[in-house]
Structure 1
Amino acid sequence: MPIKLKSLRDQVIVVTGATSGNGLAIVEQAVRAGAAVLAVARNEEALNAMRERLAAAGGRIAVCVADVSDMAAVERVAAFATEAFGGFDSWVNNAGIGTYGTLDQVPVADHRRVFDVNYFGALHGSLVAARHLRVRGGGAIVNVGSILGDRSILQQGPYCATKHAVQALTDTLRMELEHEGAPISVTLVKPGAIDTPFPEHARNFMDQPPRLPPPLYAPSVVADAVLFACAHPRRTLYAGGGGLVSAMLAQAAPRMTDFIMEAIGTGAQQKPGDPGDPARRDNLYEPRVDALRGSQDVHARNSSIALQVQKVPSAVLLGALGLGGALLSLGIWKRAR
């Protein structure tokens, strides 16, 4: 059965991890586009403030407090979406947490907690969303992964492992739904380094404050990719050209990338003297102060040419490349005459 997705203004979208960073950007941009949004997060205070602010501006928004590591809580989210809006058309698995430190430094319980949220949270959301969308006649599931699902980095082993797992989960889900003929689009969005509170929220075992390595992009770039995927079937979208280049390098020269990571990977993720807002520190088990952007002194790009190129349908892109090649060949032939 062909996949037909609604325009954003006609959709109800569920977004997890909605009160901070990429999730907050997705919610705000979706509401501006005219979509109705069910925002999901652990932070009840931040959810209520978001709802009041966006509803006062005319936005269609409801909120639901839930920890996505709890399957029963995720099932309640779907029920709440049905109660509030009559169902949903897209489900965005965005909630994520992390740690900084070596595999040996991070306690096993913390490894498990990262998996509970990042992998099992995405699994719970994917299963619940697929069941609902089968009955509804189709829609979109968008999982927010990471370029660290392509290439691991020092000091973030548990997080990298979960993002590798989310990629496998997404690919398997897509194949299963295609095999049964379900008209459900499944997309994996892979952000590069994004200027969110993630380094402040992550539990840190290093001896220096953590940071994300440059180049950084604004959360709006991820929101752009996610909401495009809600309305246009795509397999994968990289949010940020820097991340795309890193992933390509890792695939082309994995051992060289190992050596580069070993040489600079730790230093590139530390920001001595700039720990950020202490009120945001360590949300591994309990929510902390949430925000759209990080509070550290960094530069972030507000757009990504690489993302815009990925939005172009492959047939159109190949045709344009072919035409460009033909014109180039014609020019060379004429000069040679």
Structure 2
Amino acid sequence: MAIALKPLDQQVIVVTGATSGNGLAIVERAVKTGAAVVAVARNEAALAALRTRLAAEGARIAVCVADVADPVAVERIAGVATSAFGGFDSWINNAGTGTYGTLEQVPVADHRRVFDVNYFGVLHGSLVAARHLRRRGGGAIVNIGSILGDRAILQQGPYSATKHAVQALTDTLRMEVEGDGISVTLVKPGPIDTPFPEHARNYMGQPPRLPQPLYTPAVVADAVLFVCAHPRRTLYAGGGGLLSAILARAAPRVTDFIMEAAGTRAQQQPGDAGDPARHDNLHRPRADGLRGSRPVHARRSSIALQVQKRRGAVLVAGLIGIALTAARRNAGRR
């Protein structure tokens, strides 16, 4: 079946992790386009405030309090969408959590919690969305991955592992459902100025931060809403992340050495821990927000993203990736 997606102003869009960072940016941008939104998060107070604010501006919005690690709660999301709007057309698996620290420092229970949210949450959402969209005759599933699905980084081992797993899950899902008219896209943000470093459970000796170059959550929202209406396989949100992924593929050992030399320092912010009300939302919600609470420079747009939106550019990027992989293999044989 050919994939034909509706214009955004005719869609109902489910967004998980909707009260913070990228999810909040997606919700705000979606309602501005005229889409109806089902906003999902654990933070009940933040969801209620979001609904009140956007509804007062004329938005069509429903909310659902749910932890995506709970498959029963995820099933409830579809029920809310059906009751409020008769169903949904796009489902965005955005909710995520993380830790900072070495693999030895992070307890196994925390590793499991990161997987429960970042991997199994995406699995639960994808299965519910696929069943609904198959009956509806098609639609879009958008999974939020990361450049850390291409290239692991020090101090974020569990998070990197989940994003590698989400890559495989997304590729498998696409093959299983695209014959039903369902588009499946993986959006890979680079470093984005969200509350993630404050929300993550931290085992390092210093407060965490994200390395430059940073982009605002609006860049991720741009990518996500584009693929809700235009089928794509993968989009990188931010040129810095795209370059990092290319370097990791072309020269993995060089990238290892760079990470070993500077990776930890680039992720630490001595003396500035940000807003204490946001710290550690691994197991329970904390204060949310669109961006991090510390002053940083973040780019508001991405030329690389705009280039990727063009189908010809996607083909060229794929050919470059194939060439880089071949070059690396040839170098290894020597």
Q: Which TM bucket (shorter chain)? A: over 0.9
Deviation track 1:180-232 (CA, whole Å, cap 9, x = no partner) reads x2100000000000000000000000000000010000000000000001000
Question: Cα RMSD (Å) of the superposition?
Answer: 1.0
Superposed displacement of residue 297, structure 1: 2.1
Q: Does 1:59 align with 2:66?
A: no
Partner of 1:114: 114
Which residue identity is paired with 1:286?
R
Partner of 1:224: 222
Partner of 2:92: 92
The structure 1 residue matched to 2:269, chosen from 247, 268, 271, is: 271
* 1:178-217 equivalent positions in 2, closer than 5 A: 178=178, 181-217=179-215
Q: Does 1:310 align with 2:308?
A: yes
Superposed displacement of residue 177, structure 1: 1.4
Which residue identity is paired with 2:103?
L
Distance in structure 2 (CA, Å) of the matches to 1:134 and 1:226: 21
Which residue identity is paired with 1:164?
H
The 3-state SS of whatever aligns with 1:194 is coil
Distance in structure 2 (CA, Å) of the matches to 1:314 and 1:37: 31
Structure with the greater alpha carbon radius of gyration: 1
Contact residue 144 and residue 188 of structure 1 kept, 8 A: yes
Partner of 2:157: 157
So what's the TM-score if we normalise by structure 2?
Answer: 0.94
Superposed displacement of residue 317, structure 1: 7.6
Contact residue 62 and residue 80 of structure 2 kept, 8 A: no
Contact residue 249 and residue 257 of structure 1 kept, 8 A: yes
Deviation track 1:216-249 (CA, whole Å, cap 9, x = no partner) reads 0000000000000100000000000000000000
Superposed displacement of residue 173, structure 1: 0.2
Which residue identity is paired with 1:49?
A
Distance in structure 2 (CA, Å) of the matches to 1:87 and 1:176: 22
User: Cα–Cα, structure 1 residues 317 and 143, in superposed 2: closer, same or farther, change >3 Å?
Assistant: closer
So what's the TM-score if we normalise by structure 1?
Answer: 0.93
Distance in structure 1 (CA, Å) of the matches to 2:261 and 2:152: 14
Contact residue 39 and residue 61 of structure 1 kept, 8 A: yes
Task: Structure 1: state its 5+ residue gaps.
Answer: 319-337
Distance in structure 1 (CA, Å) of the matches to 2:304 and 2:245: 13
User: Cα–Cα, structure 1 residues 150 and 315, in superposed 2: closer, same or farther, change >3 Å?
Assistant: closer
Partner of 1:137: 137
Superposed displacement of residue 9, structure 1: 0.2
Contact residue 274 and residue 297 of structure 1 kept, 8 A: no
Identity of aligned residues (%): 81
Partner of 2:256: 258
User: Cα–Cα, structure 1 residues 269 and 81, in superposed 2: closer, same or farther, change >3 Å?
Assistant: same
Task: Structure 2: state its 5+ residue gaps.
Answer: 317-334
User: Cα–Cα, structure 1 residues 317 and 71, in superposed 2: closer, same or farther, change >3 Å?
Assistant: closer
User: Cα–Cα, structure 1 residues 208 and 55, in superposed 2: closer, same or farther, change >3 Å?
Assistant: same
